[in-house]
Amino acid sequence: MFVGNLPTDATEESVKELFSEFGTVRSIKIASDIFSGKCRGFGFVEMEGHEARAAMAGLNGKTFGGKSLRVRYEDETKSRGGRRRR
């Protein structure tokens, strides 16, 4: 799942604690700034399907660290930016 609008002080541990309320968290990857090491405002959480759906329903729009979270499935079919080769 994609998790957006994370606060800059978010850590893998704090996000894991938040999501573990809905089931087992398989993995977490928080995007961090290369220079400051602070959270860039988004990350990815991996959970089982039914647990992921429960987490999305329970956490999307919830305030975390003063910000309203955006939680949705990561759409692997969408382009990740850049130019397409022809």
Q: What structural domains does the chain harbor?
A: 2-72 (3.30.70.330)
Over residues 54-62, the mean pLDDT reads 96
Q: What is the pLDDT of residues 33-42, one digit of tens each?
A: 999 999 999 9
Q: Is residue 43 pLDDT above 60, yes or no?
A: yes
- On average, the pLDDT of the chain sits at 89
Contacts of 25 (CB under 8 A, 6+ apart): 16, 19, 45, 46, 47
In 3D space, the residue among 14, 11, 25, 13 whose CA is nearest the CA of residue 54 turns out to be 25
pTM summary value: 0.83
Residue 74 is predicted with a pLDDT of: 78
pLDDT score of 27: 96
